[in-house]
Amino acid sequence: MERRKAIVITGTSTGIGRACALHLDKLGFKVYAGVRNQIDGQNLRKEASENLTTINLDVTSAESIALAAGIIEKETSGELFGLINNAGIGRGGVLEVTPITEARALIEVNLIGLMAVTQAFIPMLRQAKGRIINIGSSSSFIAFPGASVYAASKFAVRAITDSLRRELKPFGMSVILVAPGVVESKIWDKGKAYIEKLRRSVPADIALLYIPLSKFADKLDSEMKKIPAEEVAKAVAHSLTSKKPKSVYLVGSGAKRAVKLSHFPSDLLDWIIMKPIRKMGK
């Protein structure tokens, strides 16, 4: 049955998107894998079956979205079973020194881009009583210091998922949040490079104030256990193939722990989060 089902995945060049594209291709779905350049598309096709189609899709470009939607509508006769909103960028930094231009760029990809792509494909998804899977994060449930803008985008993805699920339920559609912990992906290398660049631009007197947090972030990064992107792909596959998919899939112990912590009283949660950071200042 899956062989007749067409799905679209955004952000398939690396990480979760790439793993989802390859895994769902193996399961027999007709995968339209969104990429932003031809080289990434060529590399993906080398590992996929001939049924996988790469398509230029920049979630920040209305023209790119409309063109991709038009092509897919024509090839699927207007019926699309699944949309996996995966495209995203991860950038940290304390709010005081985060350039607003960078904050806008992150929100544009992680949130506005998701909304724009979803709007474009809802008519096709409604025809097939299809499913929308939004890739969230452990940061969809808990916001750590130094990750305010990223967490804001992922909290918003969770909120949109909840609202959209209720809006589209009358049409027999499902809207699902897949929230992983820290995943093996090049997004972390890019994020680390961004942080290093940001730190170099911060005035020395301001940087001094945040030394404990910087030390803690570096320690956390070095000790962080990342889960394979394939684990997320399996959760996405279940959300597409189950007769009764869950509303939320938590992937990895980090995401499950974040949800548990999110239910703690705010004062207690602040104490738990800040305790190891304070130790870095001693």
* Catalytic positions, written as ranges: 150
Kindly state the tokens that stand for 131. 């499913």
Check: CB of residue 53 under 8 Å from CB of residue 6. no
Check: CB of residue 5 under 8 Å from CB of residue 82. yes
Which 3 state secondary structure label does DSSP give 80?
coil
SS3 content of the chain, % helix, strand, coil (to 5): 60, 15, 25
Neighbouring CB atoms inside 10 A of 86's CB total 25
Whole-angstrom distance, CA of residue 200 vs CA of residue 277: 21
Please list, residue by residue across 212-229, b when 16 or more beta carbons sit within 10 angstroms of its beta carbon and e when fewer do. bbbebbeeeeeeeeebeb
Whole-angstrom distance, CA of residue 57 vs CA of residue 67: 8
Residues 6+ apart with CB under 8 A from 10: 17, 34, 57, 59, 84, 85, 86, 87, 113, 117
Check: CB of residue 176 under 8 Å from CB of residue 247. yes
Of the candidates 118, 235, 116, the residue with the CA atom closest to the CA atom of residue 181: 235
Kindly state the tokens that stand for 134. 């939004």
Neighbouring CB atoms inside 10 A of 231's CB total 17
Beta-bridge partner residues of 32: 8, 53
